Amino acid sequence: MEIAEQLARLNADISSGVPHLERGRVRGGPRDCHERPRPVIAALARVTPGDIDRAAEALKGAERWRIHTFISTSDIHMADMLR
């Protein structure tokens, strides 16, 4: 929380974690930072509807938020995970 408070004072964006790995919970106490108007609270999500939904749920209540998405592009991931 101390680091998050300092980042908020600097008007820096705060990456809050990976909700799909944390059962929809954002780690590090970023919900407490929602009281500050400036920081953008970001969550990381794979490009699957469930992961994006969990990220949105974890960020609920934030004044300014974003979801960073990513997709696997290696041949193995594209063949096995994405079919």
- Conformation bin of residue 27: beta by default, left when phi > 0, alpha when psi is -120 to 50: beta
pLDDT digits (tens, 9 = 90+) for 43-58: 999 888 899 999 999 8
Give the separation between CA 5 and CA 23, rounded to whole angstroms.
Answer: 24
61-83 pLDDT tens trace? 888 889 999 887 888 877 887 77
Query: What residue numbers bound the domain in which 24 lies?
Result: 2-81
Total domain count for the chain?
1
Strand ranges, E, within the chain: 14-15, 41-46, 65-70
The pTM score is 0.58
